[in-house]
Amino acid sequence: MRRLFRTSLRKRYDVPLPDGRLLTLGERTLVMGIINVTPDSFADGGVRFDAARAIDDGLRMLEDGADILDVGGESTRPGATPLDEAEELRRTLPVVEALARDRRAVVSIDTYKAAVAREATLRGAQIVNDISALQYDEALGPAVAASGAALVLMHNRGRSSDMYRHAQYDDVAASVRLELAAAIDRAVSAGVDRDRLVVDPGLGFAKKAEQSYRMLAALHELEPLDRPILAGPSRKSFLKAAIGDVPPAAREWATAAAVAASALLGAHIVRVHGVREMVQVVRVVDAIRGAAIRSDTKG
């Protein structure tokens, strides 16, 4: 166990946000609460499709300890149908604008479309969370650069309709690291400051269950990228390989295990549905990490 903690010491990063705040990552594990403003979310059945409900739930997540609120209007589950830009704007902008008024909130917009990112950042979104790592819309990088927002680059291959066809790896962790390095280069070439970038290994995206588990176990192998790490295992289908055919809403215990492993192995941010429960999980993990660091320092 001592080797585990030595290889997963988190470097501290101060990520600049467009409103002048710094998002400090590494001192403790930050929790990003998921707000799906969709009728077909795989994880919550579309309960937040109503904007007023989504806003209320976002405010409740802040009360429960969320550090970041991630608002998304398009389902990106495997096989999902792409959403047109106008409808995504209609779903997300009122929620982003309302939540951004609360100064406790750091609001993220979960989109791969430049127009959605542009409008959301104008209304207060501080982070753009892109599942394509700048591969779907070539205008997204320049739009993020112009806004000054932070940018999450998630590893992925293909589209939702065919991502599993691309799940071919000799070494999944090595491939993800190389492809995220290329994504960082794309972002910097588009004008995004490197210190505004966060990387996400894309658990469950273009990865079979065993590949997602391998990537999670090897999370520390992303440290050479020298960027903070976001992990999003919440309620995903790869968890079924360990617990059986359990529906998404009943996967919170399995999610807790994956969230704890993510924080232990170096994630700076965990992206979750059940904020109150997962805040407790990461606080205990952070206490364990702190004890391990103090023990290593002494001996």
In whole angstroms, what is the distance from residue 70 CA to residue 92 CA? 10
Which of 113, 196, 271, 289 is an active site residue?
A: 271
41: left (phi over 0), alpha (psi -120 to 50) or beta: beta
In whole angstroms, what is the distance from residue 101 CA to residue 18 CA? 15
Question: Which residues, other chains included, contact 121 with Cβ-Cβ below 8 Å and sequence gap of 6+?
Answer: 18, 109, 128, 143, 144, 147, 148, 149
Question: Which residues, other chains included, contact 43 with Cβ-Cβ below 8 Å and sequence gap of 6+?
Answer: 34, 36, 234, 235, 248, 249, 273
Asked if 177 is an active-site residue, the reply is: no
| Cβ neighbourhood burial of 257 (10 Å; 0-12, 13-18, 19+) | middle
For the chain, give the number of residues: 299
Which of 91, 113, 177, 236 is an active site residue?
A: 236
Task: In the chain, count H helices and then E strands.
Answer: 10, 10
Asked if 236 is an active-site residue, the reply is: yes
Report the catalytic residues.
236, 271
